């Protein structure tokens, strides 16, 4: 009953915090803030809110909360460290390279080469290539040749899907037939659900390249991996995402390094 009363007394504070989260969510969506930063920002803010709340409760109702003096100080320090670790765990973004003299304005249409699947998940390459195609089209920078047509032409040119790469001569011939100026090639390195500490969490790892169809020059390259849960998620089993959700976030962040966020 004390716990119920505890929640009821602080309903107003919780509602106010939720309103702030909604407004921040709208702001982050409008300005395309990276998802890893957005998630950890909310974790950081929630942690600080709870820390502030318990500190205030301990001062207002010291007799009901047995933690006093040095004990409370130690708890505050512990919570601060935990919040800091939760915020910065996994922070980062894609490793990327853009050719210093690359001028992408001549590229109007690209073909996505069937990805190489380095995982144990059958069909992972097909799931990820669909996400990549959708993201490129969503950006509105390049047109994308239908995936089935690309696979058909490449097979006729001697492409082997298990290799996931095309030679320079093959690229030149296929580009003329498909009417493209560049190819996107990639490899799915991780895709699925991993186990750790008795729990599970999704994990996706991907590498992508944009290759000029004539010169075979690498115009852009990016590699990234993402786990579908922060330290807190894996400890408490909350906020888990599917590999599909994760791949969408991953691909979006990777293309941000090429097109800008």
pLDDT digits (tens, 9 = 90+) for 35-80: 545 555 544 555 555 555 555 655 555 544 455 555 555 555 555 5
Query: Cβ neighbours of residue 205 under 8 Å, at least 6 residues apart?
Result: 188, 189, 190, 191, 223, 224, 225, 226
Asked whether the predicted pLDDT for residue 95 surpasses 80, the reply is yes
Q: Are 157 and 63 within one domain?
A: no
Among 19-23, 215-219, 226-230, the range scoring the smallest mean pLDDT is: 19-23
Q: Are 188 and 217 within one domain?
A: yes
Q: What is the pLDDT of residue 216?
A: 94
For residue 71, the enclosing domain spans 2-88
Instruction: Name all contacts of 231-235 with Cβ < 8 Å and 24+ positions apart.
Output: 231/85, 231/86, 231/89, 231/90, 232/43, 232/86, 233/201, 234/196, 234/197, 234/199, 234/201, 235/197
Asked whether the predicted pLDDT for residue 24 surpasses 90, the reply is no
Q: What is the pLDDT of residue 78?
A: 52
Domain boundary at 88, 121, 139, which?
88
Q: Which residue has the higher pLDDT, 126 or 26?
A: 126
Q: Are 104 and 205 within one domain?
A: yes
Calpha distance 20→135 (Å, rounded): 30
Q: Are 163 and 116 within one domain?
A: yes
The domain tally of the chain equals: 2
Q: Are 80 and 190 within one domain?
A: no
Asked whether the predicted pLDDT for residue 96 surpasses 60, the reply is yes
Q: What is the pLDDT of residue 201?
A: 83
Nearest to 114 by CA among 158, 180, 170, 160: 160
**190-201 pLDDT tens trace:** 999 887 766 778
Q: What is the pLDDT of residue 243?
A: 92
Instruction: Report the percent of the chain where pLDDT is more than 70.
Output: 59
Domain boundary at 88, 103, 126, which?
88
Q: What is the pLDDT of residue 247?
A: 95
**1-13 pLDDT tens trace:** 444 444 444 555 4
Q: What is the pLDDT of residue 84?
A: 46
Q: End-to-end distance of the chain based on CA atoms, in angstroms?
A: 49
Q: Are 103 and 25 within one domain?
A: no
Q: Are 122 and 178 within one domain?
A: yes
Q: Are 122 and 219 within one domain?
A: yes
Q: Are 162 and 228 within one domain?
A: yes
Asked whether the predicted pLDDT for residue 33 surpasses 90, the reply is no
**142-189 pLDDT tens trace:** 999 999 999 999 999 999 877 778 999 999 999 999 999 999 999 999
Q: Are 16 and 33 within one domain?
A: yes
Pairing of strands 95-98, 218-227: antiparallel
pTM of the model: 0.66
Asked whether the predicted pLDDT for residue 119 surpasses 70, the reply is yes
Q: What is the pLDDT of residue 2?
A: 45
Q: Are 102 and 149 within one domain?
A: yes
Residue 237's CATH number: 3.40.50.10610
Q: Are 82 and 103 within one domain?
A: no
Q: What is the pLDDT of residue 199?
A: 73
Dihedral, 254, 251, 111, 30 alpha carbons, nearest 10:
-80
Q: Which residue has the higher pLDDT, 139 or 44?
A: 139
Residue 34 has a CB neighbour count (10 Å cut-off) of 18
Domain boundary at 53, 68, 88, which?
88
CB 187 within 8 A of CB 206: yes
CB 118 within 8 A of CB 187: yes
Among 28-32, 50-54, 118-122, 139-143, the range scoring the smallest mean pLDDT is: 28-32
């Amino acid at each position: 009953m004390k716990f119920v009363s505890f929640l009821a007394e602080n309903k107003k504070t919780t509602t106010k915090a939720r309103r702030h989260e909604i407004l921040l969510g709208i702001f982050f969506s409008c300005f395309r803030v990276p998802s890893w930063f957005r998630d950890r920002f909310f974790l950081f803010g929630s942690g600080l809110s709870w820390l502030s709340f318990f500190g205030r409760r301990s001062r207002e109702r010291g007799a009901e909360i047995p933690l006093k003096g040095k004990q409370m100080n130690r708890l505050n320090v512990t919570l601060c460290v935990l919040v800091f670790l939760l915020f910065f765990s996994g922070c980062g973004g894609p490793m990327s390279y853009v050719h210093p003299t690359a001028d992408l304005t001549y590229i109007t249409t690209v073909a996505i080469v069937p990805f190489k699947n380095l995982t144990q998940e059958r069909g992972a390459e097909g799931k990820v290539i669909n996400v990549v195609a959708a993201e490129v089209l969503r950006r509105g920078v390049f047109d994308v040749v239908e995936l089935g047509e690309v696979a058909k032409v490449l097979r006729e040119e001697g492409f082997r899907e298990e290799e996931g790469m095309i030679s320079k001569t093959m690229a030149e011939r296929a580009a003329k037939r498909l009417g493209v100026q560049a190819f996107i090639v990639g490899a799915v390195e991780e895709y699925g659900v991993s186990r750790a500490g008795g729990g599970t969490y999704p994990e996706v790892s991907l590498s992508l390249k944009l290759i000029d169809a004539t010169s075979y020059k690498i115009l852009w390259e990016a590699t990234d991996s993402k786990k579908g849960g922060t330290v807190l998620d894996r400890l408490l089993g909350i906020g888990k995402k599917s590999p599909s959700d994760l791949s969408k976030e991953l691909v979006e962040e990777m293309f941000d390094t090429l097109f800008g966020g």
